[in-house]
Structures are given as structure tokens and as C-alpha cells.
Amino acid sequence: MRLVRTVGTACAVALTLMGCKKAEGPQGGQAGAGMALPVQVISLAPGEVQDAANYVGTLISRTSIVMYPQVAGYIQAIPVRPGTWVKDQEILLVVDPRREAAGLRATQAQRASALAQREFARRTQERSAQLLKEGLQSRQDYEQAVAQARQADASARAIEAQIQSQRVQLGFYEVSAPFAGRVGDFPVKVGDYVTPQTELTTLDQANILEVSVQVPVDRARAIQIGKTPVEVLNEEGKVVVSAPVFFVASVPSSTTQLVEVRAAFENKQGLRAGELVRTRVVYDVREALTVPTVAVTQISGQSFVYEVASVDGGTVARRAPLSVGEVTGNDYEVTGGADAGTQVVVSGLQLLRDGQPIKPMPAKPPQGQGVGGAADAGQ
């Protein structure tokens, strides 16, 4: 019985040792490190690198005005609604013109009398000239008839000028759009009394817009008028429109010490004047070696990549320090530590260790944002 128990115990110990040894297999320890991990790799190559910075810009209409009346009076009608598109010379608001219209009618009545007097004086002058020629009238009477004809003509001309002025003045009672555009809000209503200092509404034409951006003084020195582009971005960071700078302020703002930069563009995107937009000023574009941000890891402020290396006939991932610059899109600019053609790992970095055996495969084409979809890597 003791012999059977001893043999059974020995067998149990042996099975236990075998189980422990099996546990040290592929699941962990050194054995796991010897397995080749499938990874995706790319070869570093030169790409376009931008020296750019993002700002908040303001859209400004190149044709935007505040409408004021040129006369005083009570508002009689507002025939358009706020926010509607109006044609050139379309009536926006009417000030009560009845008093001015009555004055015009009175002046027109005076005009008829003045024209009749002028015609009578002209005929009198003609008769006086004939009588003077026949010796039947004195020179003094003739000259008096000439003076009366001239006075009547002057009076008629004055009445004509007054009528023309009143007609122009009467036209001011209808506030019309000086150009086609979109009407803003009306802070007044029918029945309100307005003066030439009363703001009626705004009129914007958004066919041509300007984007105004405030940039630091040192960056403004690098801007070239007609060459440096300003890009308007949408919520996803994609370029909606790009236009060259046409204006750089000669002095910075006294309050912010920033320099205003403007670019103009044709608005085919439905943007609105006064809108705040994301913008990017591209100060410089050049060719440089780049690496995907997803391939870069940061340890204590130092950047590293896993390069593909051959060791004893096998392929391993070798961690190598790398110097990087600014991010353009989803790539870092490589400023040192790697050369064109160097193969680096772009997938499974969290599973890699220095010297890890790997099975390299060409990286799949990026879908959406960056290789592997890590749009925010390295930021």
C-alpha cells in the first residue's frame, strides 16, 4: 500500500511539473517573445510639409452697408421681410411722403402761372421791339419790356428747379436698395418716427467675401501678398476655400498686438458675412522626409519609431530614436534620426518590444484619416 501511494504521489508531482512547464510556453515568458508578430510597415519617403498655423477668422462682406433714411418722418410701410434677398433699387422701407407730395403739387401749380407769365412777357417784348423799330415806342419802354421778359423767364426757371429738387426729395421717402443683396433685421416698425440718424437695416452682398485673420507680428513678416494662402476649414478640418492674402496691416492692433491679414474669395459655399470660421495660414510649403504620426511613440519627451531590422537571419523590430518637427495632416516632419527608405512599423506598436521578432507586411492604404485611422496620434 505504501508503494502504491509513493508511486501515485510521484506521478502527481510529475504531472504538476509538466503543467508548470507547459504554462511557461507560448502564453508568456521568453517563449512568447520568440514568436513573430505580424505587423504593417511602410518605407519613409519625402512628402509635402507645410509651415502653417490655425486661427479663428471672421468673414466680412465686401459690399455691406447700414441703411439710413435721408429724410425725417413716420414709417408708412416696410414691404420686405428681414433676411430676404432683394434686387437693385427694390424698395425696402417707405417714410410717409404726404407733406412733401403736397408741397410738390403746390409748386407745380405755381409753375403753370410762371410759364404763363413768361409767355406773356416774351410776346410783350416782341411787340415792343416792333413798335421801337417803327418809332412808335420809346427805347425806355422797350428796355422795360425786355427786363420783364427776362424776370419772367428767371422766375419760371426757378420754379422748374424747385420742382426738380422736390421730386428728388420726394424720392428719398422711399428707401431703396443701392445694390442686390440680403436684407438684415429691421429695428424699427411701421409708425415709428425716424430721422437721418436712425438705423433702418443692413444690406449684405455675400458673392464676394473677405476672411479677416489676426496673426502674431513675427508670423506676419513671413506673409507674401498675393502668394501666402489663407484656408477656410470646415468642422472636420477639411479645406472649404483657399485664397491668397491681399492685405496685411501695416501696424499691429494696439490692444492685442496682432496683425490683421485679409484674403478675398468668391463665395460659392453659402458662407455668411459676420460668421466666425476656422482658418489656416500656410506660411511655407516644402518637400521633406515625413513619418506617419501613428508610427511615433513618445517616452519621456523623446520620440521613437520601430524600424525593421535583420538579426541572425530573422526580422525584428528595433526601437530607434527620432527627431520630428511640426505635424502636417497625419504626418510628422522628420528632422533627424532616419533616412528615406527606412522601413518603420505602423501597426501593433502597443504589443512590440525592442528586438521583438516580427512578420512585416505592406501597410494597407489609409482609410479616412491616416494610416491605421489614428487621426489624433502625436498631438
Topology at the third CATH level for domain 97-172: Helix Hairpins (1.10.287)
HSE-up (13 A, CA, CB side) for residue 170 = 15
Q: What is the DSSP string of 73-109?
A: EEEEE--S-TT-EE-TT-EEEEE--HHHHHHHHHHHH
Q: Helix axis angle, 139-171 relative to 98-134, nearest 10°?
A: 160
**Chain-centroid distance, C-alpha 208:** 11
What residue spans of the chain are helical by DSSP H? 2-23, 29-33, 98-134, 139-171, 217-220
236 Cβ contact partners less than 8 Å away, ≥ 6 residues apart: none
DSSP letter for each residue of 220-258 = HTT--TTTSEEEEE-TTS-EEEEEEEEEE-SS--TTT-E
CATH 2.40.30.170 fits domain 53-63+203-285: yes
The 3-state DSSP class for residue 340 equals coil
Contacts of 47 (CB under 8 A, 6+ apart): 287, 288, 289, 290, 328, 331
Q: For each of the chain's 379 residues, which pLDDT tens digit applies?
A: 343 344 344 444 444 444 444 334 333 344 344 578 999 999 999 988 888 899 999 999 888 889 999 999 999 999 999 989 999 999 999 999 999 899 998 888 888 888 988 999 999 989 889 888 888 888 898 888 899 999 999 988 999 999 999 899 999 999 999 998 889 999 999 999 999 999 999 998 878 899 999 999 999 999 999 999 999 999 888 999 999 999 999 999 999 999 999 999 999 888 888 899 999 999 988 888 999 999 999 888 899 999 999 988 789 999 999 999 888 778 888 989 889 999 999 998 888 889 889 999 898 765 544 333 333 333 3
In the structure grid, which three cell numbers stand for residue 185, read together? 433685421
**Could you tell me which CATH number the domain at 34-49+287-373 has?**
2.40.420.20
Q: 209, 172, 191: which is closest to 92 by C-alpha?
A: 172
Are 311 and 327 contacting, i.e. CB atoms less than 8 angstroms apart? no
Q: What is the pTM of this model?
A: 0.55
Distance CA 209, CA 141 (A): 72
Q: What is the pLDDT of residue 366?
A: 56
List the domain boundaries for the chain: 34-49+287-373, 53-63+203-285, 97-172
